[in-house]
Every structure is written in C-alpha cells, then in structure tokens.
Amino acid sequence: MSILVNKDTKLVVQGITGREGQFHTLRNKAYGTNVVAGVTPGKAGQDVEGIPVFNTVRDAVEATGANTSMIFVPPRFATDAIFESLDAGIDLTIAITEGIPAHDMMRVYTHLKRGNQTLIGPNCPGIISPGEATVGIMPTDVFTPGRVGIISRSGTLTYQISKEIGDLGIGQSSVVGIGGDPIVGSSFIDILQRFEDDPDTDLVVMVGEIGGDDEERAGVFISENMKTPVVGYIAGFQAPPGKQMGHAGAIITGSSGTAQGKKDALEAMGVEVGTNPTEVAEMVKKRIG
C-alpha cells in the first residue's frame, strides 16, 4: 500500500508546456505515473508527446477524470494555479514552485482548512510511492519499494537517507517532501497520520530542520497518537543564529528552533534522533532489521 500517489493517480500538470514542467512531466510518465493531461492557458488542443493540453484545470478534469495536479507555474501566478486546482475539485495538489509569498500562502492555507482537499508544498520535491507512481522532481533511482515511510522538509536529505537505507536492503512505502517554506499545505502531523493509518508502513523517518516548532509539535502528536515507530533527523546543527540556511523556513530566531533543541525535545517524547543520515539508516535497520 502507499499514501497519496499510486496506480490510481490521474495526473494533470499545470505549466506542462514550460521547460521544467515538460521535462519533469515526461520523467514522471516514464516512471509509470498516469499523466492524463496538461494545462497552459491559450494552448488547448496542443499536446506534449501525446499528453493533451487544456486551457483550464476544470476542462482537464472533465475530459480526463484527473484527480491529482502538479504545479510548475512561476511564483507570481502559482497562488492562482493552486486555487484553480482546488476549485476544479482536484483531491491532491502538489506545488513544486518556490518563491510564493508567505502572505499568499496564508490565503491558500485558510481556504484549505474549509474542506478536505490536500496540498503538498509549495517549494517541495513532491511524492513517490516506489514501484507505483511519482509526482514531482525526485531522482527515482534512489528509491526502492518497501515498508518505511519518509516525510521531509528537505529534498536532498530525503534522497540521501532513502539511498542510505536502501543500501541496507530497506525500501520505502511512500516518500513525501512537504516543502521548506514557513507556510506549507500539509504539516508533519498531517502526513504522520496518513502513515499511521497505512498498514504497509512499519516505521517512519521524519526529516526536519532548524526553524519554527513543527518538529516539536510533531513529537507531541507521535507520543500521543502513533503506534508506528518514528526515527528523526534534524538538519542544521552547525547553523548560526539569525542566518537563513537553504529554505525560507530554516532560520533560528533567538533561542528557539535550534537543531539541538529539536533533538532534545523529540527524544524527550520518545523519538530517537540521528545526527547524520548514516546514523539514521543504522537506527532504521536496528528497528526493523
């Protein structure tokens, strides 16, 4: 079993005719994802290697039954693209775009809470359920089918940890990159609940980073609601206070949000935290063999 994307995914790509959109769409399709449509306003009737292009997401949904959207739209138009996807009834929207203003994401987040649709991202690498489907920009060759779920704010660390545990003969059920911006559509807790409900996920790796308190709040959720074991990793032990490191949300403010502080808090709630990806892989191996 997998979470969020699988053989039933019918993908529409917003921004399919752009260079990045086309490149990653075709990579997703080559992996086995069912890409049913693309959307670029004004280009209806065209196609991208056999994938039909529509003017609107609603037109694509009506014609193809698309249930998932991937967004490769420039930041100034990306918020409208997210709203268009939600308004068309898409169940799962994955926004790859980075640089969306936090104020715009506040409007999106408020809208999401009124319904039951799911947004992953923005500024995320997407999702892969190895052997079934991928939606996003992940390098698919580092993933193998298995029973470990991974949820991460970092793309590159996701790939490294997946490769490390794969080298130990351990595969993944699903891997979800939630994005590194201060405001994202789905939190650690949202995805942890999905893994907890998945009978084919035996353990979860949660990859966090400095800044904010999402990891600490996830620790409380894990201690109170999860039977599935969780192993953690926090990036940024060497990050200086007040300096943004990589993601917009990765910044230490005052005495809060440090890697050591997050590690201490998580371990106090029963979540073992590794100090590097290799150590995390060894923890996973020890837990599930």
Q: What percent of the chain has pLDDT over 90?
A: 85
Q: Are 32 and 10 in contact (CB under 8 A)?
A: no
The answer to whether residue 126 scores a pLDDT higher than 60 is yes
Contacts of 207 (CB under 8 A, 6+ apart): 150, 151, 152, 153, 154, 157, 158, 161, 232, 233, 235
Indicate if 73 and 150 belong to the same structural domain.
no
Determine, yes or no, domain membership for 130.
Answer: no
Indicate if 176 and 274 belong to the same structural domain.
yes
Q: Which domain holds residue 267?
A: 139-288
pLDDT value of position 255: 43
Task: Return left, alpha or beta for 266; rule: phi > 0 is left, psi -120 to 50 is alpha, else beta.
Answer: alpha
Indicate if 159 and 213 belong to the same structural domain.
yes
Contacts of 204 (CB under 8 A, 6+ apart): 148, 149, 150, 151, 192, 195, 226, 228, 229, 230, 231
Indicate if 152 and 256 belong to the same structural domain.
yes
How far apart CA 63 and CA 41 sit, in angstroms, is 16
Asked which of 61-65, 87-91, 264-268 is least confident by mean pLDDT, the reply is: 264-268
The answer to whether residue 109 scores a pLDDT higher than 70 is yes
Three-state DSSP at 14 gives: strand
Q: Which of 120, 148, 166 is the last residue of a domain?
A: 120
How far apart CA 97 and CA 86 sit, in angstroms, is 16
Indicate if 106 and 149 belong to the same structural domain.
no
Indicate if 21 and 103 belong to the same structural domain.
yes
> What's the alpha-carbon Rg for the chain, to the nearest Å?
18
**Average pLDDT for 185-213:** 95
Backbone φ and ψ of 177, nearest 5°: -100, 110
Three-state DSSP at 92 gives: strand
Three-state DSSP at 241 gives: coil
3-state class percentages of the chain: helix first, strand second, coil last, to nearest 5: 35, 25, 40
Indicate if 107 and 165 belong to the same structural domain.
no
**Average pLDDT for 160-180:** 96
**For residue 142, what is the DSSP state?**
G
For 175-195, write each residue's pLDDT tens digit.
Answer: 999 998 989 999 999 999 999
Q: pTM of whole model > 0.75?
A: yes
Q: What is the CATH number of the domain that holds 216?
A: 3.40.50.261
Q: In which band, very low, low, confident or very high, does the pLDDT at 154 lie, cut at 50, 70 and 90? A: confident
Indicate if 243 and 154 belong to the same structural domain.
yes
**Average pLDDT for 228-253:** 66
Active site residues per annotation = 247
pLDDT value of position 251: 47
How far apart CA 160 and CA 147 sit, in angstroms, is 17
Q: In which band, very low, low, confident or very high, does the pLDDT at 6 lie, cut at 50, 70 and 90? A: very high
Tally of domains in the chain: 2
